[in-house]
Amino acid sequence: MKNVEIAVTDSVEWALAHSLVFKQSNASSLHCPFTLTPSSIDKVRFEALQQAARLFGQLLHAISKDDDFIQHAIAPIADTDPLFSALLTLHNKLSLTQSRRATPLLIMRTDFMDDQQLGPKLIEFNGIAAGMGPFGQRASELHRYIAAQHADLFQTYTEHHHSQCQPSAQIPPEFIANDAIEKLADGIAKSARMIKQKHKDAGKPTFVMVVQAHEDNVYDQHLLEYALHAKGIRTLRKTFTELHGQLSTGDNHRLLLNDEPIDVVYLRAGYQQCDYYDKTIIEKYCCKTLMSVRMMLEQHDIAMNATIAQQLASSKRVQMLLSNLPAQALMKLGLTEQEALTIKPFFGEMLPLHADSMAHLMTTGLDNWVLKNQGEGGGHCVFGEDIVTKLRTLDEVEYESWSLMRKIMPLPRSHPTMIIRNGEASMIGDMISEIGIFTVNIDGVAIDDAVAGYLVRSKPANVMEGGVHSGQGAVDSLVYR
């Protein structure tokens, strides 16, 4: 166990030294939870996930351009979901006034989990504030470091090693490259230069990251910012409140921030209603003032992620509707027949709520389902007996904002490993993982091959909330099986 203690201390110090941390105060930070060794995946399976993520990015871009589809999809939940009501209102205003000028920059993370019987299934789209890519890269780099510095321990707790016919040979695993920081930064930098060149402005392109006040997940964001600095991009961090008082319009629909031109706006906030609330702003309707900032941004010539249309297109409501469409209907959304047939199997079973849902759950088994609302950011899923409790509190008019998703039953790792949290190691014998693939498109055009790294989050099988920031998950990486 002495070797384990040494490796844990060493890996925690590596994490602290390489910004794999959450902010605790202005003077302190705590390492992000991480696994001691990587997960493994079949090469063909991983390449299939990458291809599916590319196609999902293409599909969601097409949906974001389809006003009729968005209206049909989102209108039924607008009456009971104030955030989506406000977003749909702004979306319709932009369409009616034909004042939408922002170039859509789709930075998306598509999350998958591998069901032991049905294969890989889509968990959700993350079309707004798709974060943790830099942390995903850091986790891969950390595991490479552990493999080099603590080789025997690494082999002992690595799934790849125990899947070999002759473990004693200690065949080194093949790490799956993860260059999320570079590729995400490259996509943003290209979009920034595109806008800058269009207006023939002097000076460095400028990128604005819209953030939440008192954010603790700042280092994942800073790693991306530092990569942009290295590419000659100036970066700024602003809240919606700050933007409200500092934005103006320049010549040729140029967006100005304190009279300085802006080229790219990237939202790491705006996916929940409270992001638009400021107690210092007196208004008749909550959040209307800061919501208007979203529309103002899109009325200017910038590259933007996420546009309102992208946020609506990547909602769980749209995911539920898509999951129930046949491949032929997906072709009407811009996919070829082969592309539609490729992604169709990745959709898990999702059902709308209705008066007979309770009976259906009792017949098919509560533990086979997850109840989801439209919330983003973790903590919005209901499991087991809590589903019954929640359903009893809902009025029928609220049903449209919720959906039932068939629970994915992943196969745990074949060998125990450890999660390091708060400097302490915990042995986990039934680790399961969720894989998020990042893609980048500028107005529907893929940057390079569109894929921009990955994020793996692992957790014990009996843990329901697996988010790294808001749950009991840990960042992980991948080797080929």
Reduced to 3 states (helix: H, G, I; strand: E, B; else coil), residue 4 is: helix
Cβ(219)–Cβ(23) below 8 Å: yes
Given a contact cutoff of 8 angstroms between Cβ atoms, the answer to whether 475 and 33 are in contact is: yes
The residue type of 13 is E
For residues 347-360, b (16+ Cβ closer than 10 Å) or e, as one string? Answer: bbebbebeeebeee
Q: Which of 320, 383, 406 is nearest to 72 (CA)?
A: 320
What is the three-class DSSP state of 72?
helix
Across all residues in the chain, what is the average pLDDT?
94
Q: What is the mean pLDDT of residues 152-168?
A: 69
pLDDT at residue 182 tops 90: yes
Query: pLDDT at residue 103 above 90?
Result: yes
User: Is the pLDDT score of 479 beyond 80?
Assistant: yes
Does 329 have pLDDT greater than 80?
yes
Token pair belonging to 6? 């040494």
The contacts found for 28-32 with CB under 8 angstroms, 24 or more apart, are: 29/219, 30/422, 31/420, 31/423, 32/135, 32/468, 32/474, 32/475
Q: Give the integer Cα–Cα distance in Å for 315 and 308.
A: 11
Instruction: Quote the CA–CA distance of 325 and 303 in Å, as a whole number.
Output: 31
Asked if residue 412 is part of any domain, the answer here is: no
pLDDT at 82 over 50: yes
Q: Is 40's pLDDT higher than 50? A: yes
- Provide, rounded to the nearest whole percent, the portion of the chain with pLDDT above 90: 89
Asked whether the predicted pLDDT for residue 10 surpasses 50, the reply is: yes
Domain residues for the domain of 71 are 2-348+417-480
- The Cα 79–Cα 101 span in angstroms is 28
The rounded radius of gyration (Å) of the Cα atoms in the chain is 23
DSSP state of 292: H
Q: Which of 20, 60, 65 is nearest to 321 (CA)?
A: 60
Q: Specify the amino acid at residue 93.
A: K
92: in domain = yes
pLDDT (mean) for 252-281: 96
Residue 259 domain-assigned (yes or no): yes
Checking 392-401 for CB contacts under 8 A at 24+ apart, the result is: 394/353, 396/355, 397/79, 397/80, 398/80, 399/352, 399/353, 399/354, 399/357, 400/76, 400/77, 400/79, 400/80, 400/317, 400/352, 400/353, 401/77, 401/80, 401/81, 401/84, 401/317, 401/373, 401/374
For the cut 90, the answer to whether the pLDDT of residue 472 exceeds it is no
Q: Which residues contact 12 (CB under 8 A, 6 or more apart)?
A: 31, 420, 423
What's the residue count for the chain? 481
Task: Specify the range with the lowest mean pLDDT, choosing from 57-71, 158-172, 195-209.
Answer: 158-172
Confidence check: pLDDT of 467 > 80: no
Overall domain count for the chain = 1
Q: Which amino acid is at 17?
A: A
Cα–Cα dist 457/109, whole Å: 13
* Tokens at 411, concatenated: 């196969």
The answer to whether position 372 is within a domain reads no
**Domain membership flag for residue 400:** no
183 vs 465 pLDDT, higher one: 183
Q: Is the pLDDT of residue 169 over 60?
A: no
Determine, yes or no, domain membership for 370.
no
H-run or E-run covering 450: strand 445-460
How many CB atoms are located within 10 Å of the residue 379 CB?
Answer: 10
pTM higher than 0.85: yes
Residue 163 falls inside a structural domain = yes
pLDDT of residue 284: 74
Beta bridge partners of 436: 111, 455
Per-residue pLDDT tens for 337-387?
A: 999 999 999 999 999 999 999 999 999 999 999 999 998 876 789 999 999
Taking 70 as the threshold, does the pLDDT of residue 174 lie above it? yes
Output the pLDDT for position 161: 52
Place of tokens 């919330």: 375
Q: Kindly state whether residue 257 falls inside one of the protein's structural domains.
A: yes
Q: What is the pLDDT of residue 183?
A: 98
- C-alpha 256/C-alpha 265 separation (Å) is 12
- pLDDT band for position 170 (cuts 50, 70, 90): low
What is the mean predicted confidence (pLDDT) over 61-74? 98
In angstroms, the CA 306 to CA 108 distance is 9
**Nearest-10 Cα torsion for 177, 181, 182, 187:** 120
Give residue 466's pLDDT.
66
Rounded CA separation 257/85 (Å)? 28
Reported in sequence order, the residue ranges of 78-162 that DSSP labels E, i.e. its strands, are 103-115, 119-126
pLDDT of residue 259: 97
Percent of the chain with pLDDT over 70: 97
Please tell me the predicted confidence (pLDDT) of residue 125: 97
Measured CA distances, 34 to 160, 259, 377, 452 (Å): 18, 43, 19, 21
Residues 6+ apart with CB under 8 A from 205: 189, 192, 193, 195, 196, 232, 233, 234, 263, 264
pLDDT band per the 50, 70, 90 thresholds, residue 168: very low
CA dihedral 439→441→444→448, nearest 10 degrees, is -90
